[in-house]
Structure 1
């Protein structure tokens, strides 16, 4: 428990002592009166200015102390809140030091409490401002990083789109070549040789077979439902070779060669012989 607080407003007490000295008389009384004249004069002036008696001034001193204590307490609460909210954002050493000193305000002289309270308020405002600036800088950095990431993503998307467009252009160029009778024949010759080991004799039979069936036209269609270069029935069978079977002669050729190989014919020449004998294969 702290000892009695040093009184900070003492004008009333000084006045009472001065009056008591005058009442005793003698040299000591005169000397006390002389020594206390200035204090009495000040007390009288304060009484005149406030319209209060000397004993009322003591009550006001108590009220002033209570108000000072309340202000110190509120200031400490605000400082502690700011310290908690701004942790790690700015240098809080100054506010920590002064608020720690103010924490013992209940046992301090009132003038020291007033001084420390004012200093704590100043440091609280300074730390709040520094933390706000740190938040602003962090927000700007985050926004810049986000903008950079967005720009990078946009650039990547643009590059991917350009790559996809180039690939599509290449595919369309290939299709423009392959989707002609001569292009389809070239694709068939190459695949027949590389995948099935069929030479020019087998290709000659294949050429005659598909010339008869479709004229090597990938868009050929028979009322029976037979479709494309190999006249698959139905045309959707060719989806097993690729989803682009309806628009890509190479896909139709791949399916047609696979069909011949897997069927009872086994080779284009056997399929051509069957076609010649039965008018279908």
Structure 2
């Protein structure tokens, strides 16, 4: 082999095939000669065989082998490049998918955080509004209570200046008819003794006519606790609606000792 030449696998195989063919032909000639002593030897026309004539030899064979090798190398390189490109493309697509998934997750987290903040703000606003409404309601209730206390105080003050017997006079004026007043007076005298603050601790009845409960008289006025005129109006209306008149109520009372 000339120095500096590289024989590829293809060139070696080609030479091996040619050499094997030649050796076989020569062996056939020798075998015939050895096994046919005293007989005519049949010769083989090796020159007429085209094996060596057709097969490239020497430098030409090396060139053919090198060309085939280069072609194979080029094909292998092309295949490697294609595989590398496919791997790079797959890696690029995976990286893009991962980046998109990460971006989507961050966006979802930000949206959830924004929703939570908005809900908290709404809850805080609702709580503040409720607290404000509660404070306003409490203030209004306190104002109403203070007004009622003031009204009661004013009623007590006004009654304190009324002379003795004015309660009966007030009843007489409200009832009008003297006979009906007398019947009304009989009942009131026995129920409360004309004490507009009279209270029955066992039953809870209250006032001139001992309304049970006393809060019933609120239908005639909010000052029912301290104003005898309010109690008289309520009592007269009760007697008229239930018994037709104070005298009707007095007749019932005499039979039952209640009305």
TM-score normalised by the chain length of structure 1: 0.45
Give the greater-gyration-radius structure (CA). Answer: 2
TM-score normalised by the chain length of structure 2: 0.48
